[in-house]
Amino acid sequence: MSKKHILYQGAEAEICLSEYMGFKVVKKRRLKKTYRLRYIDSYLISSRTKEEAKLMIDARRSGVSVPVIYDVDLRDGVITMEYIDGKRVKDILNSLSEKERKTLCREIGVNIARLHNNDIIHGDITTSNMILMDDRVHFIDFGLGEKNHEIEAKGVDLHVLMEAIESTHSKYSDCFEYVLEGYKKELEGDADLVVKKIKEIVKRGRYR
């Protein structure tokens, strides 16, 4: 097995830099949970790995840039994928010019709409899970994703990004409005219904 360099260690998965057939790759390995019965743990790891890989493939077919998948190991819960050698949107958004931010955020909105047009819910849309490379936004980490056609799910997906922008890029909170501009332009359904749902979610949060 080739040497690996851990990029991120979370509660659910380990992300590491490695090599595969001469390519620089990222390996995402789902972690075993000792508190679960072994057969249940194995089933969950396998099914969630399969679902994540399928969502990534569907996202690419939808016209959204995601890492190319080279290998999927369902038994060990490992997805071997392309290493996107770019910059996280989280790290660069605040330093861009107003024009650049507007262009980037609109592109983000367009891509989210492409996902939603195909009922793909990312589940964790934050600027940490977007990488800019060759002037294209690449979406990563579909580990919390699902297929869901409901307006509620799409509203929640966008609400996560809205909160991420407000907390991490508070000086440029208008960025979310630019995201919605791109989203409305590309969404095949009624974008106003999704925007209305976002507002409902915000109100629910306020009155808990």
Is residue 44 classed as helix, strand or coil in its secondary structure? helix
CA distances from 142 to 77, 122, 177 (A): 14, 6, 24
Catalytic residue, chosen from 124, 134, 174, 192, is 124
Phi-psi region of 18 (alpha: psi -120 to 50; beta: other; left: phi over 0): beta
User: Which of 176, 174, 147 is closest to 161 using CA atoms?
Assistant: 176
Task: Give 66's contacts (C-beta < 8 A, 6+ positions apart).
Answer: 56, 59, 60, 138, 139, 140, 142
Which of these, 37, 33, 112, 113, lies nearest to 77 by C-alpha position?
Answer: 33
User: 161 vs 33, 34, 168, 189, 190, CA distance in Å?
Assistant: 29, 32, 10, 20, 19
Q: Rounded CA gap, 13 and 32, in Å?
A: 9
Phi-psi region of 36 (alpha: psi -120 to 50; beta: other; left: phi over 0): beta
Quick check: is 124 catalytic?
yes
Cα–Cα distance measured from residue 82 to residue 68, given in angstroms and rounded to the nearest whole number: 5
Give me the active site residues, please: 124
